[in-house]
Amino acid sequence: MPGVPPIPASAARRRAIVATVALLALAVAAAAWQLRFLCDDAFITFRYVANARDGHGLVWNPPPFQPVEGYTGFLWALLLWAVWSAFGVEPPAAANVLSVALGVGLFLACAGAALRLRGRDGTPLHPAVGLLALAVLGGNRTFLQWLTGGLETALFNLAFVGWVLLAFRAPERRGRTWLLLWAAAAAAAALTRPDGLLLVAVTTATALALAARRRLAWADLAPGLAPLATVLAHVLWRRGFYGEWLPNTYYAKVTTPWPEAGWRYLYCFAFEHGAWLWPLVALAALAAAFARGERIRALGRLVADHLPATAATAALWFHVGYYVLRVGGDHFEYRVLSHTIPLGTLAVAALAARIHRGAWPPIAALLLLGAAQSIGWMHWALTTPRAAPEYDALGDKLPGWLRPLAREYDRRQAWLQMQFNCVRTGAHALSAQGLLALLPDRTRMPADANDVPVLIGVAAGIPGWTLPDVAVLDVLGLNDWVAARTPVRDWHLGFLPREVLEAALATADADGDGWATRGELEAAFAAIPGSSAAGARPVVDRLLLLFAGDRAGALDAEGLAAARHFFAKMRFLAHERLAPDEYKDAFAPNVTIANRRAVVRPRAEPLTPARVREIETEWRDRIRRQEHGR
């Protein structure tokens, strides 16, 4: 780990290791570039950067609209802004280049840790172990995928993983410089995503504990923790500029706890990435320690002597647990768990090395991990991303002996994706490409200062970027204060009212034999006004995948009841809040898109800047009264 002296080696061996790491890093960059994509949400940040460059500050809609923090990556936005200002490269062109560069930096940081791994007796492991760990990491699809996307993921992962690796530095090499680097990594994480505030709190508490135990000089605390002052300054600036302690996206996305979705999200992650192996290797290492006569007290002393590592591990698990138990996963596939992949890979090698002397335990464990994570590539190669309720099942493409296991995975994956959870990056890429094909290329347009042009946006990022001179009202609330605090609607699939859906399920067993066959289900759903046989088929496919028992082509009474319960409790991650119709109507939206052109319709009564301020003030006051029960 960081801080351990490098493995002694001849000059020729060192050159060979450096060359191998360089080749692996180039392969990582090339593979990530092949998987590159831009999602709609990335264009949200791009619009904020454009408005800042125009002199309005980091705002979604320029004045007269009030500032709203609808992005989550402050440091990422500053980086894109700096590149655009210095080199003239717009964010859509710069984002993935920067992300891949940051990802290569993360890979090299992991290389430093992998090549310093040691066995349980403290002797360096053979370099082949570290190089194999890097090869396994570089072959992980999610690790590569989230080196792009246009979001701040690669920057956050570099800061978070770097922070954890620094926490494992040897006690004798922890001083003021180490604390400065550790605090800087925590600050970078917090400035990149609000999740990083956890790292700031843990860093501060751990530094104080180390000083109290005389493992760190009190005089080193102030200079060592100095980088955290930037986080305090940013939080105070956020409060002063946006009027909130947290980004608007938190209020828009996080509603009631959803562990039912979170454990399915974690299950699918473990299935695709072989993460189920991580705790097994840890248990094997613990069992080996007990077999050698090591006792709980000795392990407790080990934990106490490595307080930063213990605190960082606890912070990592807390972070994962928050998304699993509280949020219920993430709208994007495995984005919020992507930082665990390099850490999990290194942990497998480090823990396996403590099972038995020699290189073979970590090599065997890493080879097994590499084989297990190939399922992620199978899914990528064999399935086609589709929008819900359609779902391309992995089990249908696998040999018969694998299908029972894959079917359990497909059930959980379909359950998630029908509720806008764990949506595959391919689906996001297709959605963004489709929107870009419909909207005009980014262009400036004259606007009447006394009649503010307004467009209603559902996937608001791309229209927000391509129409910089139009105010975009974000219906889902990421960039709208009112929508983000509007109570969650019970059901908002306007094209399929719940009453109609329940009626179709109630009449599906047309012959009354206790089974609703595929044909009966398709007929029941096709009979819904506005539906068709083709439209009913994907819905029925999902119902049978989720709720059919041994008889895969039909639902019994229990399956029908489970389907009704599913739809009664159905949620839509990051899409549960919607702007009230009355609120949207107050702005009198007057911009439409036709033939890739923005058409501005003159209003009979202009929407003046004063009227915009009046609407926002009125609705914010109304929401606050509702929140306070008045």
Number of domains making up the chain: 2
Which of the four pLDDT bands, split at 50, 70 and 90, describes residue 190? very high
CB 1 within 8 A of CB 111: no
CA–CA distance, 196 with 198 (Å, rounded to integer): 5
For residue 38, the cross-strand partners are 149
Higher pLDDT, 288 or 382: 382
Q: Alpha helices of 213-306 — where are they, by DSSP H? A: 221-224, 228-242, 248-253, 259-273, 277-291, 296-305
**Tell me, what's the pLDDT at 57?**
95
Give the global pTM.
0.93
In the predicted model, what is the mean pLDDT of residues 25-36? 97
pLDDT, one tens digit per residue, over 556-579 is 889 889 988 888 888 888 888 989
- Using one digit for the tens of pLDDT, what is the confidence trace for 119-163? 888 889 999 999 999 999 999 999 999 999 999 999 999 999 999
Question: Tokens for 18?
Answer: 């450096």
The per-residue pLDDT for range 208-246, each reduced to its tens digit, is 999 988 888 898 899 999 999 999 999 999 999 999 999
Position 371 confidence tier, pLDDT thresholds 50, 70, 90: very high
* CATH number reported for the structural domain that contains residue 538 in this entry: 1.10.238.10
533 vs 417, higher pLDDT: 417
Task: Give the pLDDT score at 352.
Answer: 94
Asked whether residue 494 carries a pLDDT value surpassing 60, the answer given is no
pLDDT score of 39 more than 70:
yes
For residue 35, pLDDT over 80 is answered with yes
A 10 A CB-CB count for 358 gives 13
Shared domain check, 292 and 154:
yes
SS3 606: coil
Alpha helix ranges (H) inside 373-460: 374-382, 403-417, 425-438
548 φ/ψ angles, rounded to the nearest 5 degrees: -75, 140
* Structural contact between residues 340 and 427, judged by C-beta atoms closer than 8 angstroms: no
Average pLDDT of 368-380? 95
Bigger pLDDT: 551 or 261? 261
Quote the pLDDT of residue 297: 63
Is the residue at 346 inside a domain? yes
Tell me, yes or no, whether 251 lies in a domain.
yes
**Most confidently predicted of 10-19, 156-165, 379-388:** 156-165
Paired tokens of 33:
């570039």
Region 480-503 average pLDDT? 77
Is residue 552's pLDDT more than 80? no
- For the cut 70, the answer to whether the pLDDT of residue 5 exceeds it is no
Phi and psi (nearest 5°) for 117? -65, 145
Rounded Cα gap, residues 16 and 9, in angstroms: 10
Last residue of a domain, one of 520, 542, 568: 568
What is the per-residue pLDDT for 614?
95
The answer on pLDDT for 3 being more than 50 is: no
pLDDT tens sequence across 85-100: 999 999 999 999 999 9
Say how far residue 405 (Cα) sits from the centre of its chain.
Answer: 26
Residues forming a β-bridge with 455 = 472
| Phi-psi region at 67: left, alpha or beta (left = phi > 0; alpha = psi -120 to 50) | beta
Tell me the mean pLDDT in the region 56-82. Answer: 96
Q: Is the pLDDT of residue 402 over 90?
A: no
Give a yes or no: residue 587 inside a domain.
Answer: no
Q: Across residues 114-120, what is the average pLDDT?
A: 91
Confidence of residue 491 (pLDDT cuts 50, 70, 90): low
Contact 577, 252 (CB under 8 A): yes
What is the identity of the amino acid at 407? R
Structure tokens of 597? Answer: 């052109």
Mean of the per-residue pLDDT values for the chain?
A: 91
pLDDT, one tens digit per residue, over 613-623 is 999 999 999 99
Instruction: Judge if 369 and 514 occupy the same domain.
Output: no
* 376 and 512 co-located in one domain: no
List of residues 6+ apart from 563 with CB closer than 8 A: 505, 543, 546, 547, 555
pLDDT band at 410 (very low <50, low <70, confident <90, very high): very high
Nearest one of 343, 373, 362, 310 to 110, comparing CA atoms: 343
Average the pLDDT over 324-345 and give the result.
96
Q: Among 58-62, 189-193, 323-327, 442-446, where is mean pLDDT lowest?
A: 442-446
Residue 551 has pLDDT above 80, yes or no: no
**Across 31-53, average pLDDT:** 96
216 within some domain: yes
142 three-state secondary structure: helix
Q: Highest-confidence range of 187-201, 383-397, 410-424, 451-465, by mean pLDDT?
A: 187-201
DSSP string, 55-102: TS-S-SS-TTSPP----S-HHHHHHHHHHHHHH---HHHHHHHHHHHH
Asked if pLDDT for residue 8 goes beyond 60, the answer is: no
CA angle 413–138–421, rounded 5-degree value: 20
Q: Which of 517, 541, 568 is the last residue of a domain?
A: 568
Go through 92-130 and write b for each residue having 16 or more CB atoms within 10 A of its CB, e for each that does not. Answer: bebbbebbbebbbebbebbbebbbbbbbbeeebbbbebb
Share of the chain above pLDDT 70, in %: 95
Classify residue 578: in a domain, yes or no. Answer: no
pLDDT of residue 91: 97
In the DSSP assignment, the letter for residue 601 is P
Domain limits at 514?
498-568
Residue 1, pLDDT score: 44
User: Is 234 within a domain?
Assistant: yes
Of 568, 588, 618, the one marking the end of a domain is 568
Residue 140 lies in a domain: yes
Quick check: is 393 in a domain? no
pLDDT of residue 627: 79
Report, as an integer, the average pLDDT of 47-71. 96
Q: What is the pLDDT of residue 299?
A: 62
Percentage with pLDDT > 90 across the chain: 65
